[in-house]
Amino acid sequence: MKLQRKNRLRALSLGAVAVSGALALTACGSDDTGTKTGSGSSSAAAAGSIKCDGAKGQLLADGSSAQKNAIDAWVKNFSQACGVQINYKGAGSGAGVTSFNQGQIAFAGSDSALKPEEVVASKKVCKGGQGIDLPMVGGPIALGYNVPGVDNLVLDAPTLAKIFDSKIQKWNDAAIKKLNPSAKLPDLKIQAFHRSEDSGTTDNFTKYLIATTPDNWKYEGGKAWQAKGGQAASGSSGVAQGVKQNPGAIGYFELSYAKDMTTVAIATGAKTPVKPSTDSATADIAAAKVVGTGQDLALKLDYNTKAEGAYPLTLVTYEIVCDKGNKPETLPATKAFLTYLAGEDGQKVLSQNDYAPIPEEIIAKVRTTVASLS
């Protein structure tokens, strides 16, 4: 009895340390996540199935704010089970890749696969190996809006491009009316919010516009916002707050940031416009193709899908890690944590937090790759 009580107190203490560390970093970072972490019983069950495999100490990580709500839920379970403190800052995909290639963190979160020049840079850190992309979290990029009196809004790719390129500036524009004939659209100025810092969510959003309506979005794309006009805000939470606080606003962010907000249904050419959800995102990701080589599992998504129920503006966010040459002091904890994320219980956490699990065919390859990290 004494031993059981002692172990229970130790687990509670370690959990408190991990949570306080995460909260402290969240306050310094860009996002106020408000994540759901499930019930206590489900968390305890999840923690009980985690294999620690010698994991110990502390992991530092940074990157995608879009996946931060998922990371927070995973960290809570993993820290309770293994006593490892994981500090994931969530400062954005660009900052994460930079820190990873400077050898400052054990792994990075990124909404975009590594570019060729970033892979070259990673070889200086990954001795004898290189940085690789492991798809771990799926989810729709929601378009949240704040238009008084309009509870259902349908937009298509050309209209979205014109809105975010300041070519359409009022909500009662003829192009929006055509897509929403029964809506009472106000004579209200549109305020389109975008990210102020380098962002993988921006990269994915503009990839969608380039792929689906190149005549209306003639920018090169990338993590930095390129169109003129609009409002800039830091992090997914900053964009979401901007939309909530400003009538006439619209912005893009991962679905878990769209709580208490109405979202756009996208007209794709299917019979019914598609709203963002974990199911509609999973339907789109299932058609993704692995385009990475070797152990790299970078994916190519079909932004032009017209499949019924498939949401085309979907994001797959990666964990970036060395395939070889990981630091000996962090390798056991990194492998154990990523093994949990890619496992059945780890992927279940995603759907509990408004994310889409990675389809089995792809996540099975991730598990094999994680097991081979050295």
Binding residues, as ranges, are 64-66, 93, 111, 199-201
Q: Of 65, 68, 110, 135, which Cα lies nearest the Cα of 338? A: 135
DSSP state of 302: -
The Cα 112–Cα 143 span in angstroms is 19
Please answer whether residues 199 and 93 qualify as being in contact, where contact means their C-beta atoms are separated by less than 8 angstroms: yes
For residues 64-100, one letter each, b for 16 or more C-beta atoms within 10 angstroms of the residue's C-beta and e for the rest, the string is: bbbbbbbbbbbbbbbbbbbbbbbbbbbbbbbbbbbbb
Binding residues for phosphate, as ranges, are 64-66, 93, 111, 199-201
Please answer whether residues 284 and 302 qualify as being in contact, where contact means their C-beta atoms are separated by less than 8 angstroms: yes
The Cα 155–Cα 208 span in angstroms is 14
The Cα 302–Cα 331 span in angstroms is 34
